[in-house]
């Protein structure tokens, strides 16, 4: 249970870092809007993925596969990402898969839903939007709920072959509560 809360607070800290990018991009969006730039909904969705979602996903993968094996939030909370079997650094491929499932998938689905609601008529919301909305919530609460299982491994950890553990001490033993 303690590991779950450490991971949740680590993710909250990471989101403070991640929110810097949208804040920096906001003035550009305002300028584009005020100058009359209008794009189709799908184009805005692709653009937001390219300039926002993908960079954040690659950044998190780079941090988790780099020398720290952790995003800033995980570092603060004393956690590292390792390969589930080897218990050694996960490597960029595994970290990218992990963060694609953890960050890019739900974020992009959320953007798709938000853009669809923003452009749909009030009388008629397309059925696919409702399905995607349900899917986004299932993913978010599913990812969160699995943190509280005995293994504390989320589906994105299982699918990417990774594990989040307390950072090993200089002697090689994990710090904090043991991970089963």
Give the tens place of pLDDT for each residue, 141-163: 988 899 898 888 999 999 999 99
Pairing of strands 79-83, 162-166: antiparallel
Q: What is the pTM of this model?
A: 0.84
Backbone CA torsion sign across 97, 103, 109, 112: negative
The domain limits of the chain are 2-166
Whether the CB-CB separation of 115 and 108 falls below 8 Å is answered with no
Place of tokens 């730039």: 37
> Region 61-66: what's the mean pLDDT?
94
CA 101 – CA 104 distance, rounded (Å): 6
pLDDT band at 180 (very low <50, low <70, confident <90, very high): very low
DSSP H or E segment with residue 88: none
Angle, helices 2-18/20-34, rounded to nearest 10 degrees: 40
């Amino acid at each position: 249970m303690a590991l779950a809360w450490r991971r949740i607070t680590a993710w909250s800290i990471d989101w403070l870092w991640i929110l810097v990018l949208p804040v920096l991009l906001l003035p550009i969006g305002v300028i584009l809007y005020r100058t009359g730039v209008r794009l189709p909904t799908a184009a805005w969705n692709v653009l937001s993925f390219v300039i926002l979602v993908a960079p954040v996903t690659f950044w998190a993968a780079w941090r988790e596969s780099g020398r720290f094996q952790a995003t800033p939030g995980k570092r603060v909370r004393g956690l590292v990402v390792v390969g589930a079997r080897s218990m050694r650094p996960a490597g960029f491929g595994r970290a990218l898969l992990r963060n694609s499932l953890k960050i890019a998938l739900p974020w992009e689905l959320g953007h798709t839903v938000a853009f669809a609601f923003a452009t749909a008529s009030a009388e008629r919301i397309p059925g696919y939007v409702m399905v995607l909305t349900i899917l986004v919530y299932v993913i978010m609460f599913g990812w969160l709920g699995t943190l509280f299982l005995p293994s504390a491994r989320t589906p994105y950890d299982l699918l990417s072959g990774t594990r989040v553990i307390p950072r090993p001490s200089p002697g090689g033993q994990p710090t904090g509560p043991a991970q089963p």
